[in-house]
Amino acid sequence: MSIATKRIIVGGAFGLVFLLFVSTYACAYSLYGQTDEYGIVHLSTAPRDGLVLIYEGKNKPTLGMAAIRKLIKKHGGEAKEMKKEWIAEHVPAQLLKPRKGRPFPKVKPSAKILKYIDASSKRHKLDPELVYAVIEQESGFANFAVSPKGAQGLMQIMPETQALLGLTEPFDPARNIEAGTRYLRWMMDKFKHVKLALAAYNAGPEAVSRYNGIPPYEETRYYVARILSRYAMLKGI
């Protein structure tokens, strides 16, 4: 069964599990956001460095991108200086224009992206569901995503890691997925366990070696747990 087919099967289950999770702890749903200097919107349901709280309520919000941008600006999460020349050169205009009625979140990777995931995963002997879960967590399949720390593209690869991997076009989907998958394979070979490989992908292999396990960073622990949970859903475990 292809990953595209599995996406359809598990999508409903994932949504149900998420709703049950929210209702169990149900006091509130929080949404954090930021617009960085490149004009890229970053969103999270958990606190992260640089992100400000833009929504808190009992119900999951349905927000279009225009509303999200307004809330981020209102709460002081928009970068003071924007690199407009970079934005004009690298980011397609349609990604900057608000889409009316677009619910949040709504991830729909294209058939090409799924094909790149399958091909790179096969090449580097990784489960495509794992690579899919990493990309979903890293960028939400936003091809031109740039993190506050400078990580770029679908698999959010830092410039120094790009140099190590020989990646010269981080916003090219095929090249980014190929490089990120290859790097994840390196981490798997180094640490021999998927949990440690994911921790190394997020926090760096030095941190995993230093702590002889998953580093005690809240972000990294959340990152590993979130991906493994999604991976299990995609695999139907």
pLDDT tops 50 at residue 62: yes
For the segment 56-68, the average pLDDT, to the nearest whole number, is 77
pLDDT tops 70 at residue 23: no
pLDDT tops 70 at residue 225: yes
Give whole-number Cα distances, 180 to 215, 228, 230, 233, in Å.
Answer: 21, 17, 18, 22
- Domains located in the chain, CATH noted: 3-96 (no CATH), 111-235 (1.10.530.10)
Q: Note the pTM of the prediction, 2 decimals.
A: 0.58
Q: Using CA atoms in the order 20, 21, 25, 30, what is the torsion angle rounded to 10 degrees? A: -120
Q: Higher-confidence residue: 41 or 30? A: 30
pLDDT of residue 206: 97
**What is the identity of the amino acid at 112?**
K
pLDDT of residue 9: 39
Give whole-number Cα distances, 212 to 196, 220, 223, in Å.
Answer: 9, 14, 18
- CA angle, 68 then 74 then 79, to 5°: 85
Q: In whole angstroms, give the CA distance from residue 89 to residue 84.
A: 9
For the segment 146-161, the average pLDDT, to the nearest whole number, is 90
Q: Using CA atoms in the order 169, 171, 174, 178, what is the torsion angle rounded to 10 degrees? A: 70
What's the token pair of residue 151? 């990580």
Tell me phi and psi for residue 203, to 5 degrees: -105, -10
Q: In whole angstroms, give the CA distance from residue 103 to residue 87.
A: 24
Catalytic residue numbers? 138
Residues 81-120: pLDDT tens digits? 877 665 555 444 544 444 444 333 445 788 899 999 999 9
The backbone region for 174, taken as left when phi is positive above 0, alpha when psi lies in -120 to 50, beta otherwise, is: alpha
What's the token pair of residue 36? 């960085």
pLDDT of residue 198: 96
**How many residues comprise the chain?**
237
Q: In whole angstroms, give the CA distance from residue 115 to residue 187.
A: 23
